[in-house]
Structure 1
Amino acid sequence: MFYAPATSEALQETIEDLARQQVECLVVDGGDGTVGKVLSVLYASSYPNHSLPMIAVLPSGNTNLIAADVGFGLRGVEALRRLQERARSKRLLSDVKQRQPLVISWPGQDRAAELGFFGGLGAFTRAIEIAHQPAILKNYAHDAAVLATFALTARQLLTPRLRQGWLNGTPVELGLEENTPEMQACFLFLCTGLQCLPHGIWPFWKSEGEADRGISYLNVEARPERLTKAIWNLVRGRAPAWMQNSPFYRSGSSERIRLCTEQSFVLDGEVLDTGPGQCLDITAGPIVSFLQA
């Protein structure tokens, strides 16, 4: 069966139709935004959250962070042939990765949850807002747009007057698990349900013996010490001892995070406002199985 829903309503109807037929495997051809939309609709559908269909992600969008970790590994016709062969030989589950997507919800608001795998705010939201400027979207292809965004962000960080606005951070109340949120000035907050990112980048770490609760997070307070060295290490997937011991850099694993702020939260490139309550919850979602080639 092939579906190409053009609207959110059509996607909801498609998923409900698949649920009625008890379809157990979906092939999603698209980037992070498409995968997130499918997961969000699945989460609200007739499919039980403890028994969601398996997913094969064929990367073809602008951003493919999700596929870099749990993508099927093949594209197009070749991928479909491999899946058909696996299904015929009853080996569909021979290689599977399981992940928990981030579930974004708004406490006290009648608003559907959004699912995705990589989110953040602070400097991350500022950078995404630069990337979404019409001058960049209209004049650059995706790869060039990434470079243009990086150049503009670097320029602002290197310009003394603008640099202070970035370094002073964003007022945020942040609470982990059931702890009461505490106010802080946040330079950068990132979180993910993935277990690896492209090019060896991994800006997260856990304390020795700390359990994996589903969400990896990084919280960098305003005006952090040794920022240039920290960025250099984190983009190479390293967290030296000085960083792990610094009060400016905190990372770990959590099942639930509450953020209260005026600033928007970015999930897989989509900008989500915090609503009238200026608050949102991030929770580790249901386990999703992703097929591997």
Structure 2
Amino acid sequence: MRIYVPCSFALIHNPQSRRNVKTGLSASDVLRALPDLLFCAPETEAALVAALADIAPRKIKYLIVDGGDGTVSKVLSVMHASGWPKEEWPVLIVLPSGNTNLVAEDVGFGLRGEAALKQLALLAQGQMNKCSVVRRRPLVVSWPDGSHVSVLGFFGGLGAFTRGIEIAHRPGFLKTFSHEAAVICAFLLTVLKLLAPHSRKKWLDGSAVDVTLDGVPAESKRHFLMLFTALRRFPHGVWPFWQRSDSAEQGVVYLDVAAHPERLTTAVFNLLRNRIPSWIRQSPSYNSGLADKISLRGEPLLVLDGEILQTSPEGGFEIEAGPEVSFLQFSKKDD
């Protein structure tokens, strides 16, 4: 029989996250601020599974995730695949320390490093009231043939989005730039490829994917771009979907751009500025909506929170809204 020492906090620290490599918290720093915290720094997926298996029976109140989008995705995926009852999941505190931090932009704690430790120490002492809990339902991506364990995440896509991420993940990009800068460079390179005659047609032809939205087949059979999200906010106010951002709690918010879309340059300019003029809404090239379940058949690759997923030999993915997850956010505003 194992006896677990009660604690309110556990921390999953990703030592390989880009910001942690440069200015990450050490175990001594964390334990000095939170002496009763359970500190874990798993370097492999197997180690992460073991760490969360040790954390689950302790019934902690807060799970701190010190990493980027990929780390948050892996933590939730392991929790989901385990026998950890969903109603007993702790509140997550996300410290933005990764290559990409879209999740932290929406539901993150808002601080990292020493500033975060200072506030967390106050929280442990019951002296911090500048915080609130927000809830999201992450995307659950599954393989219809059951060849892989389902994974959870918050932002994904295919088509041109996958090609752009593949460019951003090239060793030359990641060695030279931060991930955010690499994504920007990849976006610019994508624009150049769309302008170049020899590559324009290949990109605009899109991907041959049979898309089913809540059992209803999509009109388009080839897709230049598809995006899916469970987030409510993107950086810089970008929101390229028709639905209000709070619709994400009701299902999967998506954007589907057909192959060879009309007025693509003008549409991108509007979507990036959070403007959806009537001609885009009425165009058969563009479709945005909310679905409980999205089925994809024929697409070999899908990107979820910056990670490229490969389909099984039979092909296909299914995407649906997952269990509700709570996140703690710190408010910098004075009471």
TM-score class, shorter:
over 0.9
Question: Would you say 1:172 and 2:209 are equivalent positions?
Answer: yes
Question: Would you say 1:228 and 2:265 are equivalent positions?
Answer: yes
Corresponding residue for residue 186 of structure 2: 149
Question: Would you say 1:258 and 2:295 are equivalent positions?
Answer: yes
Larger radius of gyration: 2
AA paired with 1:148?
C
Q: Tell me, in whole angstroms, the C-alpha distance in 1 between the residues paired with 2:174 and 2:243.
A: 37
Identity of aligned residues (%): 51
Shift of 1:246: 1.2
Corresponding residue for residue 44 of structure 1: 81
Q: Tell me, in whole angstroms, the C-alpha distance in 2 between the residues paired with 1:240 and 1:212.
A: 25
Structure 2 length normalisation: TM-score? 0.82
Q: Tell me, in whole angstroms, the C-alpha distance in 2 between the residues paired with 1:183 and 1:220.
A: 9
Q: Tell me, in whole angstroms, the C-alpha distance in 1 between the residues paired with 2:200 and 2:106.
A: 33
Question: Would you say 1:133 and 2:170 are equivalent positions?
Answer: yes
Corresponding residue for residue 20 of structure 1: 57
AA paired with 2:199?
L
Superposition RMSD in Å: 2.0
Q: Tell me, in whole angstroms, the C-alpha distance in 1 between the residues paired with 2:49 and 2:211.
A: 33
Q: Tell me, in whole angstroms, the C-alpha distance in 1 between the residues paired with 2:150 and 2:127.
A: 34
Q: Tell me, in whole angstroms, the C-alpha distance in 1 between the residues paired with 2:206 and 2:109.
A: 38
Q: Tell me, in whole angstroms, the C-alpha distance in 1 between the residues paired with 2:181 and 2:283.
A: 35
- Aligned residues of 2:142 and 2:317 also touching (Cα < 8 A): yes
- Name which structure has the greater RCO, CA cutoff 8 Å, separation 6+: 1
The count of residues paired between Structure 1 and Structure 2 equals 291
- Aligned residues of 2:69 and 2:102 also touching (Cα < 8 A): yes
Corresponding residue for residue 282 of structure 2: 245
Q: Tell me, in whole angstroms, the C-alpha distance in 2 between the residues paired with 1:93 and 1:256.
A: 36
Shift of 1:146: 2.8
Question: Would you say 1:275 and 2:308 are equivalent positions?
Answer: no
Corresponding residue for residue 5 of structure 2: none
Shift of 1:51: 3.4
Corresponding residue for residue 232 of structure 2: 195
Question: Would you say 1:4 and 2:46 are equivalent positions?
Answer: no
Q: Tell me, in whole angstroms, the C-alpha distance in 2 between the residues paired with 1:283 and 1:84.
A: 37
Shift of 1:79: 1.3
Question: Would you say 1:204 and 2:258 are equivalent positions?
Answer: no
AA paired with 1:135?
G
Shift of 1:160: 1.3
Question: Would you say 1:95 and 2:123 are equivalent positions?
Answer: no
Greater shift after overlay, 4-13 or 178-187?
Answer: 178-187
The CA deviation string for residues 57-105 of structure 1, in whole angstroms up to 9 with x for no partner, is 0001111000010010111222123123224328689501100111110
- Aligned residues of 1:170 and 1:263 also touching (Cα < 8 A): no
Q: 1:113 aligns with which of 145, 150, 159?
A: 150
Corresponding residue for residue 53 of structure 1: 90
Question: Would you say 1:32 and 2:78 are equivalent positions?
Answer: no
Q: Tell me, in whole angstroms, the C-alpha distance in 2 between the residues paired with 1:156 and 1:94.
A: 45
- Aligned residues of 1:50 and 1:286 also touching (Cα < 8 A): no
Question: Alpha carbons of 1:211 and 1:36: their partners in 2 closer, same or farther (altered >3 Å)?
Answer: closer
What SS does the corresponding residue of 2:65 show, helix, strand or coil?
strand
- Which consecutive unaligned segments of at least 5 residues does structure 2 have? 1-37, 331-335
The CA deviation string for residues 137-181 of structure 1, in whole angstroms up to 9 with x for no partner, is 334343442343123212111101211111111100101123357
Q: Tell me, in whole angstroms, the C-alpha distance in 2 between the residues paired with 1:141 and 1:118.
A: 19
